[in-house]
Amino acid sequence: MPYKCQLTLAFVKTCSDPAGWCGVSLGGGMVSNLLVLAYPSPSNPDEILTSLRWASDYGPPIEPYNGDAKLAQISSTLNATHYQVSFRCEKCLGEWRHGEEQQGGSFPSSGGFLLFGWCHASSAPFGEAECADKAEMSQHDSQGLFGATVTSFTLASSAEEYALWAGKATGGAVDGECVV
């Protein structure tokens, strides 16, 4: 299957004021696992910015991910009560690298079960928030874990559907206005 190291995810953040950020950990807890963060752009009210992050310790995910995994947004929506973002993540299954060395993170796709972590914060990113990779985050307000069962039937029956869904990710990450 050409998509064996990829996945598509969609997540929704609901709140009375959707100014905060949310995240998904690919592998359960946040330490030494690939993190996907999303939040509304402070300068473009129609965009949801996304960033891959890494956490070497518990605390705000401040370290931008430096490896081979790549995000591509499929769609996003934002209104007064929530925002939603769907994305494709290439090279996000299996072991990933952060920097020069493999950092212990592993999101196995062959064991029949995938474990995710989630979090959300009501406070908006700050600092250089117009650039998702440079934005600073406060500690999240809540977090948890959830799992998904993957079977050979699920993989075989959904390969064509996945190809159609993944094909909608025509651009890269929506990372905002980043000045180098």
Token digits of residue 167: 């094909």
pTM (two decimals): 0.80
Could you give the CA distance from residue 106 to residue 83 in angstroms, rounded to a whole number? 28
φ, ψ for residue 36, nearest 5 deg? -115, 120
Whether the per-residue pLDDT at 171 is higher than 80: the answer is no
Whether the per-residue pLDDT at 136 is higher than 90: the answer is yes
Name the percent of the chain lying above pLDDT 90. Answer: 8
User: Mind listing the pLDDT tens digit for each residue in 72-111?
Assistant: 888 888 887 788 888 888 777 666 566 655 554 555 555 6
Mean predicted confidence (pLDDT) in 31-58:
87
Name residue, tokens 């493999």. 102
Could you give the CA distance from residue 130 to residue 176 in angstroms, rounded to a whole number? 5
Could you give the CA distance from residue 74 to residue 69 in angstroms, rounded to a whole number? 16
Domain 9-167, what architecture?
A: Sandwich (2.60)
> What sign does the dihedral 93-95-101-103 (CA atoms) show?
positive
Q: What one-character DSSP code corresponds to residue 110?
A: S
Domain residue limits, the chain: 9-167
φ, ψ for residue 158, nearest 5 deg? -110, 5
